[in-house]
């Protein structure tokens, strides 16, 4: 996702990471109880996991996250006037890149004089499902996170 942000930044595309709540709290990164702790965890996202996009925090009660469906790692695309134009219940760089290329192309078509009207489309995209890598991520959170995920999903 960082590489995608860099790739499209020169084409008028902004990218942010919006910090929500701990989906898999563990001993190293427990559930959030204060805004100060949320800032610490968000800085770790930058410093430990290497997120290079601007990181912004939601309120401690997740007001924004909850309003958008509160999925643990979803992505949305907004246009400049604040209209929602893409939503995905999981963050997948290939899916987002595909959408951005479509929207940028539509912008060029409009500049070329085409009259375009919006329509709705649904699509079932495919994401990488690397179970071993996911478990390595859980291990960073602490043994509790691994134990609870294994109990929930095996």
Partner 1 sequence: MADADLLARYNYDEFVPEKFERWLNFPASPPLGEPAPDFPLWHLDGSETRLSEIWSQHAFTVVEFGSFT
Q: Considering only residues 30-49, where is the footprint of partner 1 by CB under 8 A? A: 30-33, 35, 39, 41-46, 48-49
- Report the residue number, 67 or 126, with the smaller CB distance to partner 1: 67
- Report the residue number, 131 or 151, with the smaller CB distance to partner 1: 151
Q: Give Dmax (Cα) for the chain.
A: 58
What is the token pair recorded at 139? 């291990």
As a whole number of angstroms, the distance between CA 51 and CA 122 comes to 29
Query: With contact defined as beta carbons under 8 Å apart, do 86 and 76 qualify?
Result: yes
Stretch of 2-10, 108-116, 123-131 lying at the interface with partner 1 (CB under 8 A): 2-10
| Residue 80 CA, distance from chain mean position | 19
* Site for partner 1 contains 14 (CB under 8 A): yes
Residue by residue, DSSP assigns 91-116 as --HHHHHHHHHHHHHHHHHHHTT---
- Segment 44-83, which members bind partner 1 (CB under 8 A)? 44-46, 48-49, 53-83
- Least CB distance to partner 1 at residue 149 (A): 6
Query: With contact defined as beta carbons under 8 Å apart, do 19 and 57 qualify?
Result: yes
* Site for partner 1 contains 104 (CB under 8 A): yes
* Site for partner 1 contains 3 (CB under 8 A): no
- Report the residue number, 59 or 133, with the smaller CB distance to partner 1: 59
* Site for partner 1 contains 86 (CB under 8 A): yes
- Least CB distance to partner 1 at residue 130 (A): 17
Mapped onto helix, strand or coil, the DSSP state of residue 25 is coil
């Amino acid at each position: 996702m960082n590489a995608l942000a860099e790739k499209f930044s020169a084409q008028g595309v902004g990218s942010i990471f919006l910090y929500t709540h701990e989906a898999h709290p563990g001993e190293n990164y427990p559930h959030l109880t204060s805004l100060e702790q949320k800032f610490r965890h968000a800085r770790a996202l930058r410093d430990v996991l290497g997120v290079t996009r601007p990181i912004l925090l939601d309120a401690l009660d997740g007001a924004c996250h909850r309003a958008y469906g509160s999925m643990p790692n979803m992505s949305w695309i907004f246009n400049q006037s604040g209209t929602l134009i893409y939503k995905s219940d999981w963050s997948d760089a290939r899916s987002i890149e595909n959408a951005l290329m479509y929207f940028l192309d539509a912008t060029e078509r409009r500049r070329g004089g085409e009259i375009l009207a919006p329509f709705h489309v649904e699509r079932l995209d495919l994401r990488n499902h690397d179970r071993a890598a996911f478990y390595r991520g859980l291990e960073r959170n602490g043994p509790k996170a691994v134990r609870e995920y294994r109990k929930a999903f095996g």
